A and B are shown apart, each in its own frame.
Chain A
Amino acid sequence: MNRLSLFRKINNKFKSLVAKIVMLVLYRAIKVLAREDSRIMNEFLTWKDGLTVALEASPDGTAIYMQKYGDKLKRIKACSNVDIRITFRSVDAAFLVLTGQMGVARAYAEHRFMLNGDICQTMSLVRCIDIAESYLFPRLLTKRILRKVEKKEFSTLRVYRKIFVGV
């Protein structure tokens, strides 16, 4: 009774882990691109200072919280009072989106996440995520999941280098 099967337990753990890693990469990508990609830079400038965003991937608490701080994006501790909260309805939904099997617009249309917060600023965030995905995922994949694949202003390699090596 009320016991998770072993398979499902492992499955959930695995998806949570992958979700966490991709969310970190996505966060770092937006942080880097906010200074390097002209379009994300422009979007970022329109965000109000101190804007807080929560990305919650699963009910077990796998989540990432970030804040616009001056001209930078930084991670913050978990908090309940954020400006934009995107909560996936299951870790499976988060996995679909974060592994590039589904774009954000499609996920919205399929009620894969719940949104709390100002819709204008969320639209800007969604555009940033779409552009970031154009860098992070191979074109073969983005062509399938994005309504429009944005042109890259520089190579994917450079973004990954900046994310992981920092230079």
Chain B
Amino acid sequence: MYIPGYYEFVNPGKILSGKYALENISTEFKLFGSSRVMILSDKVLEKLGQVQILSDALISGGVKVVEIYTDIPADSSIEVVNKIAELYRKANADSIVALGGGSVIDTAKGLRMLISQGGTDILKFVGAEVLPYAKHVPFAAVPTTSGTGSEATAVAVIKDNGRKVKMEFISQFLLPDLAVIDERFTTSMPAKVTAMTGLDALTHAIESYSCLQKNPVSQCYARSAIELIKDNLITCIESPNDRKARLAMANGSLLAGSAFSNSMVGIVHAIGHSLGGVCSLPHGLAMAILLPHCMRFNLDKCRDDYTEILKMFVTPEEFVAVPASQRAEKCIEVVTAFAHSAAEKAGLSLKLGDNKINRDDFNEVAQRAINDGALIVNPKAAGLEDVLAILNAAY
């Protein structure tokens, strides 16, 4: 097993996973000494009645819900965070529960940072890896998609509309105190979203397992994530109401989130971020399309890790049947087949050309990708030409 010369690992917050997880938030909050909760969510979840389910659970447990904010857009911004902070203070809230996907949870992370540090503008804390510990604001994240893993990461991505850039905040103090997975919220995702977010989680796990910053703990989390995703993603797409499979996928996503929050990701995300920025390709879809091509690119630096990953995907008999020198290649083959099978069942195509991506944009995408921070921990150095070759292969 690989052990780096030095590594650091920040554990995720307390995990509450499974039946009636929501009902247990209030006792946890009371232990923190807080009783006035602000809920953050989005309009869709409010309409589906899920915000009500959460609020009922909190109130039944004996805490007060003093404010509910659901006007969070898909790409949350600095302005939204600043505005919510005002409402939070007006309502005299003392804790936060975020219910939603990556955007809602990242918004809540921003809010929590602003409340904790004080002040009215979160922009002050950009690039603040060196943020000191400030006032503790109890914070629970309840994910409704199984992909971003944001409930277990120390990162928040929030848009600065003024400068039209996505700001990345990294600090261990962004980690939610509670990562809450409740099976009531796992079955609402449609097939396409299930496939895309699930393959995003798989990408987190695979990139985390094989990148420069990997360590024994992150690899442990990544391994469990890969096994859970491999066993359950297709079931979730085919039988969306299978709660057991959904709960397992949500756990896979959380573990993958914690893994990559500690080890970072690599070239798949570098190119994926740029495809999102330039061509508005949904993140999970970009991951699914790029993963096999990027694994092929990294192959010569990742033989050992890919061999290990193959072990997670196939039975021991199948594993030994593959000659040792071919196992890394076989791993890429198996992962590719898995991604294609999930995509096909959800009605997605894994070709850039089929997803309204124009080759004319490739130069700009590649230019942005090589300046993306994710590339620094990719096991293999990649230049403009390498990224262009990957994009063309994925077309």
Contacts and interface: CB of A to CB of B under 8 A. Distances in A.
Nearest to B8: A111
19 contacts: A105-B212, A105-B376, A108-B213, A109-B212, A109-B213, A112-B6, A114-B129, A115-B129, A118-B127, A119-B372, A119-B373, A121-B371, A122-B373, A123-B370, A130-B381, A146-B381, A147-B379, A147-B380, A147-B381
A41 B130 CA distance: 32
A106 B8 CA distance: 13
A89 to B, nearest CB: 11
Contacts of B381: 105, 130, 146-148
A162 B264 CA distance: 39
B5 interface: yes
B238 interface: no
Given A106-B212, A109-B377, A148-B380, A123 B372 contact: yes
Contacts, number: 59
B4 interface: yes
Contacts of A119: 168, 371-373
Contact of A115 (B127, B264, B379): B127
A12 interface: no
A111 B262 CA distance: 11
Nearest to A119: B373
Interface in B362-380: 370-373, 375-377, 379-380
A120 interface: yes
Most-contacted residue by chain B among A121, A122, A123, A146 (CB, 10 A): A123
Interface residues of A, number: 24
Interface string A95-118: 000000000111011111011111
Given A119-B168, A120-B371, A123-B375, 5 more contacts: A106-B212, A108-B376, A114-B129, A115-B129, A116-B130
A67 interface: no
Interface of A: 104-106, 108-112, 114-124, 126, 130, 146-148
Interface of B: 4-8, 127-130, 168, 211-213, 264, 301, 370-373, 375-377, 379-381
B383 to A, nearest CB: 8
B371 A123 contact: yes
Contacts of B6: 110-112
Contacts of B371: 119-121, 123-124
B315 to A, nearest CB: 33
Nearest to A102: B5
A122 B211 CA distance: 20
A116 B127 contact: yes
Contacts of B377: 105, 108-109
A116 B169 CA distance: 11
A115 to B, nearest CB: 7
B4 A109 contact: yes
A106 B375 CA distance: 12
B168 to A, nearest CB: 7
B69 to A, nearest CB: 30
Which 5 A-B residue pairs are closest in the complex by CB-CB distance? A148-B381, A109-B213, A147-B381, A120-B371, A119-B373
A108 B264 CA distance: 11
A123 B168 CA distance: 15
Contacts of B8: 111
A126 B211 CA distance: 18
Contact of B376 (A112, A114, A123): A123
Contacts of B370: 123
A110 B376 contact: no
Most-contacted residue by chain A among B6, B372, B377 (CB, 10 A): B6
Nearest to B370: A123
B266 to A, nearest CB: 11
A121 B379 CA distance: 21
B5 A110 contact: yes
Contacts of A114: 129-130
Contacts of B372: 119-120, 123
Nearest to A148: B381
Contacts of A124: 371
A104 B238 CA distance: 45
Contact of B129 (A116, A126, A148): A116
